[in-house]
Amino acid sequence: MRELTRRARQVEIDILSVTDCFITHEHTDHICGIKTFAKNTASTIWTSKKLNSGCGIEETGDLTPNEPVVLGDVKVTPIATFHDAVDPLGFVIETESKKALVLTDTGKRPKDLERYMDNLDLVVLEANHNKRMLETGPYPYPLKRRITSNYGHLSNEESGEILADIVKRAKKVPTCFLAHLSEENNKPQIALLDVANTLKANEVLPGRDVQLEVASQYVPSKVLSI
């Protein structure tokens, strides 16, 4: 919570003003401090129904994949992802004029992604690892297998394939933040290069057709407004 407050302050967000918080899944890198956050703010914590029943947080809202939640003029639709967690989710966030996708922690392309791919303005997309770095890196074999499985994480190339399809179906030039980069098995410049190469192989030109950026796990990204 202290870290979250500090980072929010860096981008001029008052953590107490957050009204709704959406949880993708229960792995520690995603929910560390959530109970303290729930206790100290008036925010509604939205999680999947199955996860909700076990997480012990009050003031929660239940999410069901493909059933949108409408908050004022913002619509948030959860999509089921493939990950070794209880009911893991990605999110499509829409206003009247903008559409964003947040998709991390999935071993492969979500089954229902197809129906949300049109006209995205903003994409936060997992580019977890460079395949060769993972293969030759220090992780124990079972962990390597977990990461590359259908219930693990997207490699840079897999991320590039998904992004290429998204870009081809966008009306305007979308912005994509590559996210959830592995500390051991990736580097920002390598993720950018791998994704750019995959895009080019699919006839999508970074810079012309899509604005590519990398999200850091240490420094807060700029605030994205839609």
Q: How far is the CB of 29 from Zn ion (least distance, A)?
A: 4
184 is an interface residue for Zn ion by CB under 5 A: no
Instruction: Note whether 217 binds Zn ion by CB under 5 A.
Output: no
Say which amino acid occupies 33. G
The answer to whether 29 contacts Zn ion (rule: CB under 5 A) is yes
> Which of 27, 168, 171, 222 is the binder for Zn ion (CB under 5 A)?
27
Give 110 or 206: the residue with its C-beta nearer to Zn ion.
Answer: 110
Shortest spacing between CB 152 and Zn ion, in angstroms? 9
- Nearest approach in angstroms of CB 182 to Zn ion is 10
Nearest distance, CB of residue 126 and Zn ion, angstroms: 8
Q: Which stretch binds Zn ion (CB under 5 A): 25-33, 137-145, 156-164, 200-208?
A: 25-33
Per DSSP, the three-state class of 20 is strand
Q: Nearer Cβ to Zn ion, position 27 or 169?
A: 27
Backbone φ and ψ of 25, nearest 5°: -170, 175
The one segment of 56-64, 89-97, 100-108, 128-136 that binds Zn ion by CB under 5 A? 100-108
Smallest distance from the beta carbon of 105 to Zn ion, in angstroms?
4
Whether 7 contacts 222, CB under 8 Å: no
Q: Using the rule CB under 5 A, is 105 a contact of Zn ion?
A: yes
Residue 32 interacts with Zn ion (CB under 5 A): yes or no: no
- The CA distance from 180 to 129, in Å, is 9
Stretch that binds Zn ion, among 13-21, 23-31, 56-64, 91-99 (CB under 5 A): 23-31
CB of 133 to Zn ion, least distance (A): 18
For Zn ion, the binding residues (CB under 5 A) are 27, 29, 105
